[in-house]
Amino acid sequence: MEKIGFIGLGIMGKPMARNLMKAGHSLVVFDVNSAPVEEIVLEGAERACSPKEVAELCNIIITMLPNSPHVKQVVLGPEGILEASCAGKILVDMSSISPLVAKEISSKAAAAGLRMLDAPVSGGEPKAISGTLAIMVGGDEEIFAQVQPLLLSMGSSAVHVGEIGSGNVTKLANQIIVALNIAAMSEAMVLATKSGVDPEKVYQAIRGGLAGSTVLDAKMPMVLKRNFKPGFRIELHIKDLMNVLDTAHSIGVPLPLTGHVLEMMQALKVDGRAAEDHSALIRFYEGMAQTEVGNVTDQP
């Protein structure tokens, strides 16, 4: 198998890179932080000193970075991917960024002969580790078909959703639904707890019905254990929802519920909880109701 470039070895990127190696792919890796690079190199990857060097050594480059400015820097900046000879190569950006920025980067990449897909993911760290991410892909369908087997080394599904930028529009839609699900779960479970009903029993009673969801099954057990170690940090969901609102406002789409949940998350960030899992959104409701889910009180 040919070498695959991988740039960005954070909470999501590192396990994704590991799954590519488990599938038999040779990796050339780069990250601005040396510690995860050392880990992956010890496991068999090759180190690169810059995004440019990654692009020089590989025909397919994957990026998994925090936000739009980081992707622009890695692709367009000094010692960036486009400073290498890129004709005929493929860039798969798996970061969650603004769809408008994905289109901008793709246009500049195309001028240099670099073909690009935007392919953000859903599932958080647990699914990145297990290799069962949901991957939503925008860009040329023929390029997608070429890299789909590679994507399925990291995910249980990889679906082509349209032209470049469509992957990130799909991810933004996903993030709206996840955020509002967590908010709805939080309202319901704070109500149950303060009414004196065991929230774990409420969860077990409703999870098989229409209110059941993947979000409920992933996040409610964490809340009950008071385990807010991040699979997906509040600060990252804030970033995604800000991209949601920027995109929505640019095309005239009001999103009132998304705006409310974003402000709740911003309040938790101000309270020092930015690095907690987004299931900690329930703390906002607990604070207003002066109750803690998991600690059943007598009905007032």
Catalytic positions are 171
Short-list 127, 148, 126, CA closest to 137: 148
Structure tokens at 114: 């670099």
Structure tokens at 194: 């303060």
Q: Which residues of 5-22 are buried (b: 16+ CB within 10 A; e: fewer)?
A: bbbbbbbbbbbbbbbbbe
Phi-psi map region of 252: left, alpha, beta (phi>0 left; psi -120 to 50 alpha) = left
Q: What contacts 24+ positions apart, CB below 8 Å, involve 194-197?
A: 194/289, 194/291, 194/297, 194/299, 194/300, 195/299, 196/296, 196/297, 196/298, 196/299, 197/296
CB atoms within 10 A of CB 35: 9
CA 281/CA 292 separation, integer angstroms: 12
Q: C-alpha distances in angstroms, 293 versus 87, 185, 196, 231?
A: 56, 11, 10, 20
Structure tokens at 122: 């859903």
Angle, CA of 7, 242 and 81, to the nearest 5°: 20
Place of tokens 């938790």: 268
Q: Which residues, in sequence order, are CB contacts of 213 under 8 Å at separation 6+?
A: 181
SS3 for 290? Answer: coil
